[in-house]
Amino acid sequence: MAMFNSELKLTFSRLRTKILILALSAVPIALAVVLKLFGSPQAGRGPNFIDQVTNNGVFAALAGIGVVIPFLLPLCVSVIAGDTVAGEASFGTLRYVLTQPVSRLYLLIIKFLSGVIFSIIAAVSIAIAGLIIGVILFPIGPVTTLSGTTIGLESGAIHILAASLVVGLSMSGLVAIGVFISTVTENPSAAMAGTVAIAITSQVLDALPQVSSIHPFLFTHFWSAWGDLLRFPVTFSGIESDLGIQIIYIAIFLSAAWAKFSYSDITS
């Protein structure tokens, strides 16, 4: 537990981590300010939920989440995940860390969990920033769900925060991929770039109908399932599929990371 706490402190005390979270949190704020100055687009145009922000400020949180999911959030997660092991190796601290009385598998799990916690905090921060700026700039009220029903403001805010939690957990497969790549190279920039490239490739494949047979097996395929929490009653099948495929990728890539890392000679 002491090593886990130390890893979290190291991750979140870095200026880079703080900048990434601030940059992500700035997205719904920027969207809300632009909409306040220039008005909302026509219904159905622009990112999901953006045409509803001026009518109900709580939708600024949902619009922000929808904007960051395709690229910006995976990019930030890749930066953290790709640095987990390769960053220690590049700074020459990995050998010192491995002198601690813990197994290499335990170290990888700690690194992975740190990345997942970053993903969750980043996603929830986007939602909170969106809710705050939405309350400041626009009127707020009961939330109209994707099913067309209306729920109370407090219930709507809870659903939004729950959706952001699902978004954060949806990145866990990507974190596992980043940890694996981080064990393959001692160059953190290469590990970050490789992780981003895999995320982009998965989304490109997911957009191609010619390979629709593999879509359910892509870790990005169910990234939009968080929207089911904005239905009433809530449907969980998409979220279950999303988290299920993440667990599969976690098992595969953490096992591969352990297989590589457990027998590697650490030279730095």
Mean pLDDT value of segment 86-110: 79
- What is the reported pLDDT for 46? 64
Q: Prior bond to 41 cis, omega within 30?
A: no
- What is the reported pLDDT for 262? 80
- What is the reported pLDDT for 45? 66
- Structural contact between residues 159 and 78, judged by C-beta atoms closer than 8 angstroms: no
The answer to pTM > 0.75 is yes
104 vs 1: which has the higher pLDDT: 104
Q: Please give the angle made by the CA atoms of 249, 254 and 255, to the nearest 5 degrees.
A: 100
Return d(Cα 84, Cα 76) in angstroms, integer: 13
DSSP class of 85 = T
What's the chain's average pLDDT? 92
Return d(Cα 257, Cα 232) in angstroms, integer: 40
Return d(Cα 84, Cα 207) in angstroms, integer: 30
- What is the reported pLDDT for 47? 72
Res. 239 pLDDT band, cuts 50 70 90: very high
Res. 93 pLDDT band, cuts 50 70 90: confident
Residue 265 reports pLDDT greater than 70: no
Res. 92 pLDDT band, cuts 50 70 90: low
**Residue 135 CB neighbours (<10 A):** 16
Task: For 226, list phi and psi in degrees, rounded to 5.
Answer: -55, -25
Range scoring the smallest mean pLDDT among 73-77, 92-96, 248-252: 92-96
